[in-house]
């Protein structure tokens, strides 16, 4: 007997860093999954799913209402991931990022027409520069970057849908088929191994992290516990993974030999320097499973496998 409340999941941005492990997990759990993605990076990451009869792909752009139309056929719920992600990319492409992160989210809500629930991937970057150092879901948002502001606006749009869950994720780390090296731990690990040097600013700033596979697990958790979680915002991460940039470097030093230098120049645009409270989602029953050290070990192996220029630094 199939007890699933939702059977067919639409994932926007399913070919991305978070999307691919999410598609993989949901297919493995027997969900039917349709992905809509404009393949800004690569479609190769979806190849392992093509033999699965539960997988369907639509090459489309969420800015186009016409392309979204097809993706909404026979859908029970949407996991909305498609976005221009991170402050460097949104600063570089302010118009496009607004069209995708804000207007695109409005299109998804227009298609859901209140009837189809939406799980939305927001971010702790919406907190921005906060006064108290411990954030809960009720901490007033003060985003400073285009990215943080656009995601905060998108949250307001999502809240107009009849049923939704908003996840404010910690910064991801770990290996995914669509690899991102612009994320802090991934970036630090890759540079420590491949360049043997790491120059770090704001070393005492506290950041908060989550493994990308635990993000995928959080979506499965939301599908299985939707009624309990409906119409709520959750920080998604783990207090054990609230650590300073210096602590990340010290963990790396346990496994890699490299030259580490802390400097006083440079700063994070969103001035993210906070610890995040995750008790709300823990009370519903969600917990993470992968530590930073485990992530570092897999990232060290990755650095031997891929040889690419690191596009960003210190983000
Ligand atoms: N990775 C993190 O640390 C993190 C943390 C918090 C929140 N998030 C959120 O999770 C989501 C996924 O992030 P990610 O790390 O996988 O980024 P990503 O860039 O790897 O994935 C984004 C995906 O969206 C697709 N896309 C972009 N614009 C599109 C459009 N107009 N139409 C259709 N598809 C489009 C891209 O092709 C890509 O596959 C984003 O909404 C992001 O804000 C990520």
Out of 11, 12, 18, mutate this one to test ligand 1's pocket (max ligand atoms within 8 Å of CB): namely 18
| Cα 262 to ligand 1 centre (Å) | 31
* C-alpha dist (Å) from residue 44 to 12, 38, 47, 305: 17, 13, 5, 17
Q: CB of 19 closer than 6 A to ligand 1?
A: yes
pLDDT by residue (tens digit) across 133-144? 789 999 999 998
pLDDT by residue (tens digit) across 254-304? 999 999 999 887 676 656 678 899 999 999 999 999 999 999 999 999 877
DSSP letter for 101, please.
I
Name all domains of the chain by residue range, CATH numbers in brackets. 8-172+209-236 (3.40.50.720)
In this structure, are residues 181 and 310 in contact, taking their beta carbons and an 8 Å threshold?
yes
| Cα 142 to ligand 1 centre (Å) | 22
List the one residue out of 290, 167, 281 whose CA is nearest residue 219.
Answer: 167
Q: Is the pLDDT of residue 314 over 80?
A: no
Q: CB of 183 closer than 6 A to ligand 1?
A: yes
CA distance 29 to 35: 16
pLDDT by residue (tens digit) across 190-247? 999 988 999 998 898 889 999 999 999 999 999 999 999 999 999 999 999 999 999 9
């Amino acid at each position: 007997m199939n007890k699933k409340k939702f059977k067919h999941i639409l994932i926007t941005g399913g070919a991305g860093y978070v999307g691919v492990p999410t598609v993989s997990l949901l297919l493995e759990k027997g969900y039917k999954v349709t992905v809509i993605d404009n393949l800004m990076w690569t479609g190769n990451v979806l190849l392992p799913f093509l033999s699965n009869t539960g997988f369907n792909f639509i090459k489309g752009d969420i800015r186009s209402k016409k392309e979204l139309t097809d993706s909404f056929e026979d859908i029970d719920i949407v996991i909305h991931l498609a976005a221009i992600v991170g402050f460097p990319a949104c600063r570089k492409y302010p118009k496009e990022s607004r069209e995708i992160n804000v207007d695109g989210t409005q299109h998804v809500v227009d298609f859901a027409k209140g009837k189809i629930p939406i799980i939305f991937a927001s971010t702790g970057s919406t907190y921005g520069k906060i006064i108290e150092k411990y954030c809960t879901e009720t901490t007033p948002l003060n985003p400073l970057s285009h990215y943080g502001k656009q995601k905060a606006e998108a949250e307001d749009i999502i809240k107009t849908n009849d049923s939704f869950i908003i996840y404010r994720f910690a910064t991801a780390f770990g290996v995914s088929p669509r690899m991102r090296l612009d994320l802090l731990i991934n970036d630090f690990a890759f540079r420590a191994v491949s360049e043997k040097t790491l120059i770090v600013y704001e070393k005492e700033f506290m950041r908060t992290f989550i493994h990308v596979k635990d993000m995928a697990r959080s979506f499965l958790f939301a599908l299985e516990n939707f009624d309990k979680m409906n119409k709520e915002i959750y920080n998604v991460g783990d207090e054990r993974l609230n650590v300073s940039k210096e602590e990340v470097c010290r963990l790396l030093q346990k496994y890699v030999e490299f030259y580490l230098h802390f400097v006083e120049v440079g700063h994070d645009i969103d001035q993210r320097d906070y610890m995040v409270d995750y008790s709300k989602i823990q009370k519903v029953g969600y917990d993470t499973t992968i530590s930073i050290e485990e992530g570092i070990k897999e990232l060290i192996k990755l650095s031997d496998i891929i040889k690419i220029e690191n596009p960003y630094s210190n983000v």
